[in-house]
Structure 1
Amino acid sequence: MKKSNQIMNGSLPDIHHHKSNEALVKDEDFQQVGMLPIPFLEWIDSESNQIFSVKAINGDFCYISSNIHRILGYEKGEVTRTNILSWLHPEDYIYVRSKVPEETNCKVRLTYRIKHKDGHYIWIESVISRIRYKNEDYFIAYSEDISKMKETTEHLARSEKMNVAGQLAAGIAHEIRNPLTSLKGFLQLMEAGVDVDGQYFKIMKEEIEKMESITSELLYISKPQPHHRKTVSLQSLLNDVCTLMRSQAKLYDIDIHLTTESDQILLECDPSQIKQVVINLIKNAIEVMEEGGVIQVRGFQAESNLIIEVQDEGPGVPEQILDKIHEPFFTTKENGTGLGLMITNQIIKEHHGDLEISNAPEKGTIIHVTLPNHSR
């Protein structure tokens, strides 16, 4: 069987030579391939926010709904002369190519960005099926503009970031007060005429750098960040977050231990968003550990993926609600909103990753985040 990503290679030629789009809509074979009645196709064209398309395995469009103009700005005729790869956002290119079904009777749901005719990108969610009909393979896709939903989610994410920053304030104030007390003591010694040697200056510098690191991370998560992906050190990213969260953890008699395989492991991501993911996971771990203990944060590479794990020593998650945890706004906390985990899931999904939650063998919960390693 030919690889399905052949559909992603090269340009899309004119449709079946002598057949027009309109003729194909009425073609009995097309109806069977598309498995949709004509009235429904007409409704999609006039009312739906979805684009419906059927593609041959070699990349030819057999049919695409007219509302592509309303959603993406293109006319039907332009689609047949356009390379589909030129529509994809560069950061989603590898992801889409790797996920297109390679076997018949398979279906995938993909979220990615695609270029509007005027040049800006919109978020699209597609359900793509691969079917076989009369010894030919076809792709059937239902694609929907989810840009407004994404805007709402991002607004909620910004609100949650400010909420987290407020909750961290008490711990950070305590963490900054200690080095300030040390600095004040050294200055009083100097004011009294005590000879302060180089070792004390070294300690003072380290205390200032510690405060600078904590306040910088707090500012980083508090203010809006442009969504730009870049290659960063996984170890450095996790260390920044753990440094910030240790001040909060200490208030509850909790230590945070960070383990990474190497400082050479690189992650292609939006650093602001992935930091928010790890902050949310550690914050949740702190909240469930009523008797203190240790939170383990691990970062490592596994084949073509990068793994981030956060393990707590709390009571674990009851088996009967494990499947519900991924539902929007689901929470077991008395005053919780469920926003934190919902936003975490959304960010990971945007990075084409997965999140799994399981109970540790002895006690506690392990949250396992898998992200594709595109930087290899």
Structure 2
Amino acid sequence: MENYHKGEPFLEISNLPQELIDSIPISISVHQEGKVVYANSKCQEISGYPTLKKLIGVCFSDHIHPDDIDKVRKARENGESQINNIRIIDYNGEIKFINVSIMEAKWMEKPAIEQFTHDITQQTRQTNRLEAIHKYSIETRELFTLDEIAEKTLQTISNLLKTERCSLSLVESNQLNFRYQSTHSSINKLYLDTPAVTTRTARTGKTQRISDIRKDPDYQEWTTSTMRSELAVPIKLDEVVGVINIESEQLDAFSEDDQKLVEILAEQFASELEKIRYIEQVERLERNRSKELLEGRSKVTRMVKHDLKGPLTIINNCAHLMKNPERDIKELSTLISENVSRVNEIIDDLGQMTLTEEIAPVPTDLVTLIRETVRSNNIPSNITVKIEPSQEMIYMSIDAAKIRRAIDNLIRNSVEAMPQGGQITLKIDSDTNKTHITIKDTGPGIPPENRNKIFKPFFTTKENGTGLGLSIVKQIIEAHRGSITLETKNETGTVFKITLPV
């Protein structure tokens, strides 16, 4: 470097002991007419030259990165003695980052420039990596497809690490599918039990950093690959869902810092993958919900047409027959009243489907509520009802009318299931967190093939049923942040268990 700060004192560097200069932990070099005339071992290390002899006579300016030449030129013109964050290309072609200090000196009693070079490559790379990870995190938040996020992940790795091949594979069934690759490969899928570094990573869930893959026990002799080192990092959610794999033609190409970098990216990719899967699940549920709503509407139409047609026809016929003075008016009135009640029941069930999510909780004694619900039902004489509370009073904040409707529905179902008589048992118990209501009958039970369907709207096995009763019960309980389950284990009898938070 030809220009330098004029205020620095001259230093006869050649008079200093060689041992002293070599012991200094920074790079020192002396330049005359732009060429190196002296350098210590640290300078040789930074510049990458195999020997100090080869370094002598080298023009340092020739090693400056093309993108930083203007920066260095302007600093020289301004006579600056300190130039920071310069990129150089060393003897081996590796890019390094340095800070340079310059001062006047003498070498063999002739004017010279003494250059102190600080290697900041490691710190700069760490900073660049942190910035790249931060940028990756921000950019992937705005992406909503797996293809975009995978491409961004591979691009980030390729920019930060020296690698000839990079891939991102996903576990699908018993295979590892190499869906995303930076370069073309003849291998697109591997069974998980195939001996390979990537499949071992997927099986074990542990990072594999291989300095020489030819010495790895899973190395395959048949491969024509020129790759020599490999780094495979698992992508994990609750289990391994994929592998990020990078390869290099150099031996021992990947450091512990490289491993940590890829592991961070793998964690962030897993987080984004979980986001995408959640979005897909929500969209799938919405599609299914829309489909169910359409199907439900169709079922409602058919049900209204079918179920209301019968009672309305009877009412119409009775009205017509009442015109005949010889008909028994009392009998016809009874028929009309019964069928009007049936129509009201159907309309009420449909109305409740839209109201169950709206609750108005108030403190209520659950034991008293259940006793009153049982008393209000017209229980046949051949059916006995037992109420077994764990306490005389169990107060809870509930919508009493809706809980009563839910219990009433379950009791009526039990009654209808036992035309020959039987027993209904209602157990109520409570702890510090939850209250449980168990309703058990001795009827024929629910067939196994129907047990997963009973809470679905419009599913019914009754000739005149709407299929809304148990669906409404479930909505009422869930509106109270509770749950209802069918706990029938035997072929006879039905057991429903309601759990409500205290």
TM range (shorter): 0.3 to 0.5
Which TM-score applies when normalising by structure 1?
0.42
**Structure with greater Cα Rg:** 2
